[in-house]
């Protein structure tokens, strides 16, 4: 039976299972078992499975899988966690590193134990309060984010024809000038409210700066109560130098029996 070592981490309340795949033998095509690994309570339980793979362009390559087994281009909090994990396993040789993602190259720096900053590519604006920050996000400004039906409203927007066929993440945001945002996110692939979303924090901040009078750096408070700091520059048309800084924590490590994972509807 195939035994897969893993480390469980969280970034600002967003939890992940991280796997050293430098040998390149992780069964990435077995999406049902990836989903089973992420399932609670039958699997390890997480909001994303992340692989560290070899790269000939950067220190390493990050592969990210949603809890439903689908692969996504990028995850902001996952990227911060993977930087700390890569340093732990030696895939990154120093506290400053660059790694590949499907959304482009990401730079990262471990500022101190438990605090990681990443540099991210400029977002792509695709419409009113809609932005691609590695992955798509629809921003919904609200007066009081605590009162929002995140699951019901988020699922409706995520599956609307406007965002077909792939759907979108949905971020409900309360803005407070000059530089505060409170965010709750319905995450595509998780298909539920997530504890935090790094790319959602970035998307919320850039829309806040561009359209709602906020100023960098923007402090984004997540559903779990953690703060993420988004900094950068905006010239009225374009963003540059965007960074996302926040906490990461190593929770535990273990080994899972891949072949014994329970598959839904097998």
Instruction: Please report the sign of the dihedral spanned by the C-alpha atoms of residue 238, residue 115, residue 62, residue 14.
Output: negative
Region 209-225: what's the mean pLDDT?
95
Residue 154 covered by a domain: yes
In the chain, the DSSP E strands lie at 3-11, 14-20, 49-53, 60-65, 71-72, 96-100, 106-112, 115-119, 124-127, 130-133, 135-141, 169-176, 180-187, 192-194, 218-221, 227-234, 239-257
CA 128 to chain centroid: 22
46 is catalytic: no
Integer-rounded Cα Rg, in Å, for the chain is 18
Whether residue 156 is found in the same domain as residue 99? no
Residue 144 covered by a domain: yes
Per residue in 164-189, pLDDT tens? 999 999 999 999 999 999 999 999 98
Average pLDDT, the chain: 94
Cis amide bond preceding 56, omega within 30: no
Across-strand partners of 135?
A: 133
Across-strand partners of 193?
A: 186
Instruction: Choose the catalytic residue: 36, 49, 75, 214.
Output: 75
Whether residue 92 is found in the same domain as residue 143? no
Whether residue 82 is found in the same domain as residue 160? no
Whether residue 161 is found in the same domain as residue 201? yes
Judged by average pLDDT, the poorest of 47-56, 84-93, 170-179, 190-199 is 190-199
Whether residue 170 is found in the same domain as residue 69? no
Tell whether the model's pLDDT for residue 265 goes beyond 70. no
- Which pair of structure tokens corresponds to residue 188? 């595509």
Residue 179 covered by a domain: yes
Region 34-58: what's the mean pLDDT?
94
* 3-state SS assignment for residue 152: helix
- Which pair of structure tokens corresponds to residue 28? 């990435």
Region 49-65: what's the mean pLDDT?
97
Q: How far apart are CA 14 and CA 223, in angstroms?
A: 10
Across-strand partners of 239?
A: 234
197 is catalytic: yes
> Into how many domains does the chain fold?
2
Q: What pLDDT is stored for residue 266 in this prediction?
A: 47
Q: How far apart are CA 230 and CA 228, in angstroms?
A: 7
Q: How far apart are CA 42 and CA 20, in angstroms?
A: 22
At 146, which CATH number?
A: 3.10.310.10
Degrees to nearest 5, angle at CA 28 with 50 and 7: 30
Residue 213's closest CA among 180, 239, 241? 180
Q: What pLDDT is stored for residue 262 in this prediction?
A: 74
Q: How far apart are CA 63 and CA 170, in angstroms?
A: 22
Instruction: Choose the catalytic residue: 72, 91, 197, 210.
Output: 197
Q: What pLDDT is stored for residue 125 in this prediction?
A: 76
Domain housing 132: 124-237
Considering only residues 214 and 124, tell me which one the structure prediction assigns the higher pLDDT: 214
């Amino acid at each position: 039976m195939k035994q897969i070592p893993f480390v469980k981490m969280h970034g600002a309340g967003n939890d992940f299972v991280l796997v050293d795949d430098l040998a390149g033998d992780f069964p990435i095509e077995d999406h049902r078992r990836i989903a089973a690994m992420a399932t609670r309570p039958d699997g390890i339980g997480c909001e994303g499975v992340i692989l560290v793979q070899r790269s000939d362009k950067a220190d390493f390559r990050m592969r990210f899988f949603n809890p439903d087994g689908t692969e996504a281009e990028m995850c902001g909090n996952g990227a911060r966690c993977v930087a700390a994990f890569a340093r732990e396993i030696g895939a990154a040789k120093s506290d400053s590193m660059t790694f590949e993602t499907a959304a482009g190259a990401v730079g990262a720096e471990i500022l101190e134990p438990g605090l990681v900053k990443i540099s991210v590519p400029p977002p792509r604006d695709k419409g009113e309060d809609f932005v691609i920050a590695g992955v798509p996000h629809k921003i919904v400004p609200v007066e009081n984010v605590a009162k929002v039906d995140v699951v019901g409203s988020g699922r409706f927007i995520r599956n609307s024809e406007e965002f077909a066929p792939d759907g979108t993440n949905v971020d409900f945001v309360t803005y407070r000038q000059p530089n505060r945002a409170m965010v709750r996110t319905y995450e595509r692939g998780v298909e539920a409210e997530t504890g935090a979303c790094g790319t959602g924090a970035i998307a919320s901040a850039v829309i806040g700066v561009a359209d709602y009078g906020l100023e960098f750096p923007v402090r984004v408070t997540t559903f779990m109560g953690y703060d993420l700091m988004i900094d950068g520059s905006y010239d009225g048309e374009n963003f540059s130098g965007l960074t996302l800084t926040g906490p990461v924590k190593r929770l535990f490590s273990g080994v899972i029996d891949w072949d014994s994972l329970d598959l839904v509807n097998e």
